Structures are given as structure tokens and as C-alpha cells.
Chain A
Amino acid sequence: RKEVEQDPGPFNVPEGATVAFNCTYSNSASQSFFWYRQDCRKEPKLLMSVYSSGNEDGRFTAQLNRASQYISLLIRDSKLSDSATYLCVVNRGAAGNKLTFGGGTRVLVKP
């Protein structure tokens, strides 16, 4: 079993709609969580950190459920420019802070 698992999608989303997807992680000792966005053939870019209390950044809302070991991302009022792969990322917080990535969820926003 992979340490971080995501539905690969694609999620086909009409422009203006809301889309949400989850990721699960297996290591209960994980300490910090992130969503990165990756456009085709580009590098990953930090979208947002995920806090225990949940957090919102504009149209994006992230939630963390430690008991069930999953993280969610919700995108409201989807824009064409939101089309990308969203990578769920976990940091176990051990020495080095190396990141463990999920395989990504592909989102396609269509007019």
C-alpha cells in the first residue's frame, strides 16, 4: 500500500461548479500536510498548507481528518485555469522534512 493515496481522476468539472476530492495517508505519525498543484510538464507548486482546524484560501478549502487519516481539497466556482494535477503531500516531520507525495488527482475544468 502506498503511503499517500489519491484518486487519479480525471475529475471533469463544468466551469463554475464545485469539485472536491480526498487523499488518504497511512502513517499516523505524519505531522504536516500540503496540497501542491502541478501543471502538465511543470514543477509542483505549493497551493496551500493544510491545518488541523481546516483552512481556506479564496476558492480553495482544505480539511484534515487525523482520526480517519485523510485530507480533502474543495474548489469552488471552478475556473478553466484550475485544470491541473493536484498532489497531496505529507511530511512525517522526521529529520529532513522530506515530502511524500500522492500520485495526484487530475482535474479538468471545461467550459
Chain B
Amino acid sequence: DTGVSQDPRHKITKRGQNVTFRCDPISEHNRLYWYRQTLGQGPEFLTYFQNEAQLEKSRLLSDRFSAERPKGSFSTLEIQRTEQGDSAMYLCASSLILASTDTQYFGPGTRLTVL
């Protein structure tokens, strides 16, 4: 499978615990995005990387959230001290930037449930 992969696919945790999600983009894609989607809503942008540099963070990304892409390949998204409001689908997308536009391909997502 040469698509975007995410791990785990599902995570159930108790409030206050830390969780970490991983995203493996399509090989050679230099951009990687994280989005969050809650039930009945469209995905909302969280942050993105170009290679290993994190270039933008949404105000949705509180200081409990941190993302890394240390070698410009896979990325991790960590949520510290989880809250029930963090329950959502976390989607990763990757793209190859060419000229000024790129097509983003999404992974299957990690569904987080905070009890």
C-alpha cells in the first residue's frame, strides 16, 4: 500500500492521559498536514510541515498539542492531558508541492475517544 498510513486507527484513553499518533505520508511527499474532524463537521486544519519544518499551527492547536516531523518523513501528533473535547478523528494528509498548488491525499485517520 503506497498511500498515507496512520497508526493507531483507534485509541480509547482516559481523561488526563497523554496520547501519540503517527502518520506515514506517501513516499517523496514533502508536505504533511494534520486535520481534526468531529462528528457531522468537515475536517479542520491543525498544522502542517514542509519537509521537517513546521510552518503553521492553527489556533485550534492548544499548548497541549505538539507535532513533529523529525526527518521530514513520518510525523507524530501528541496530545497531553487529554480532555473529552479532544475526542475526534485525527486525519493526516500529504502532498507533493509543485508550483503553487498541491493535491492532498488523506490517511484513514486515528479515531480518539477520551472517556
A residues near B, CB below 8 A? Answer: 4, 8, 31-32, 41-46, 49, 87, 89, 91, 93, 95-104
B residues near A, CB below 8 A? Answer: 31, 33, 35, 40-45, 48, 50, 55-56, 91, 95, 97, 100-109, 111
The answer to whether A44 and B33 touch (CB under 8 A), given A97-B95, A98-B56, is: no
Asked whether, in the complex, the Cβ of A43 is within 8 Å of the Cβ of B107, the reply is: yes
The answer to whether A97 and B45 touch (CB under 8 A), given A43-B91, A43-B107, A43-B109, is: no
Give chain A residues whose Cβ lies under 8 Å from the Cβ of B42.
4, 87, 89, 101-104
Give chain A residues whose Cβ lies under 8 Å from the Cβ of B106.
43-45
In addition to A87-B42, A99-B33, 6 A-B residue pairs with Cβ atoms within 8 Å of each other are A4-B42, A43-B106, A43-B109, A97-B31, A98-B33, A98-B48
Give chain B residues whose Cβ lies under 8 Å from the Cβ of A31.
101
The answer to whether A97 and B56 touch (CB under 8 A), given A42-B108, A43-B107, is: no
11 A–B contacts, CB within 8 A, in A order: A32-B101, A42-B108, A43-B106, A43-B108, A46-B105, A49-B103, A95-B55, A99-B35, A99-B43, A99-B104, A103-B42
Once the chains are docked, how many angstroms separate the CA of A42 from the CA of B109? 8
Q: How many A-B residue pairs have CB under 8 A?
A: 58
**Is the contact region of chain B dominated by helix, strand, or loop, or is it mixed?**
strand
Closest 9 CB pairs between A and B? A101-B42, A43-B106, A98-B45, A96-B56, A101-B43, A103-B42, A44-B106, A43-B108, A87-B42
Q: How far is the CB of B38 from chain A (nearest CB, A)?
A: 10
Q: How far is the CB of B51 from chain A (nearest CB, A)?
A: 13
Once the chains are docked, how many angstroms separate the CA of A8 from the CA of B97? 32
Q: How far is the CB of B95 from chain A (nearest CB, A)?
A: 7
Once the chains are docked, how many angstroms separate the CA of A28 from the CA of B43? 21
Give chain A residues whose Cβ lies under 8 Å from the Cβ of B101.
31-32, 91, 93, 97
Once the chains are docked, how many angstroms separate the CA of A95 from the CA of B48? 11
